[in-house]
Amino acid sequence: MGAIVTVERVLARTPALAVLLPMIQVYDVGCLLNLDVVARNATAPPGLALQLDSAFSGEGSTSMHIVLRYPGGVEVHSDHDRDCAPPNLSWFPGGVRGDAAHTLYHMPLWLHPVPPAEELLLTLEWPWARIEPTAVTLDGAAIARAAKRSSPCWPP
């Protein structure tokens, strides 16, 4: 069972889109950064669903880019998820829900292994959606504590 770290941050906002990081689900083996993209359907760019799908394929020209910078300068990129050596940050299949006014695209990122118990810098950039690079700090110590609270995926 994963433990929850509440983040509740708006990472970026345009007139049509909001990119949110409400929480991080932490397991003993890694964690899910639960990104949400909320679209106002009336003003959302045409083809938004296809552009969000491209994040999973790593198409550089249209996909959202996430970079996680560790203490000491190590960086992990969402568009380099084919590199399996840890640390690794990769898109995880999400889901879509909505109504006539808004659509929520759930776009989790899997981070392996659990990061160090130090401050981390998460940077988001999405040129296609006109989102310039924006950065927020994440509390690595809170993530490490949550990993210790989580139930192990397998017994030792």
Domain ranges of the chain: 3-149
What is the separation, in whole angstroms, between the first and last Cα of the chain?
A: 15
Q: What is the mean pLDDT of residues 13-30?
A: 94
What would the two tokens of residue 54 be?
Answer: 């491209």
pLDDT tens track for 61-81: 667 899 999 999 999 998 776
Give the fold, CATH level 3, of 3-149. Immunoglobulin-like (2.60.40)
Question: How high does pLDDT run on average in the chain?
Answer: 87
User: Under a CB-based contact definition with an 8 Å cutoff, are residues 30 and 108 in contact?
Assistant: no
- Does pLDDT of 123 surpass 90? yes
Residues 6+ apart with CB under 8 A from 55: 63, 64, 78, 91, 107
Q: Given pLDDT bands bounded at 50, 70 and 90, which one contains residue 18?
A: very high
Q: pTM of the full predicted structure? A: 0.87
- Does pLDDT of 93 surpass 80? no
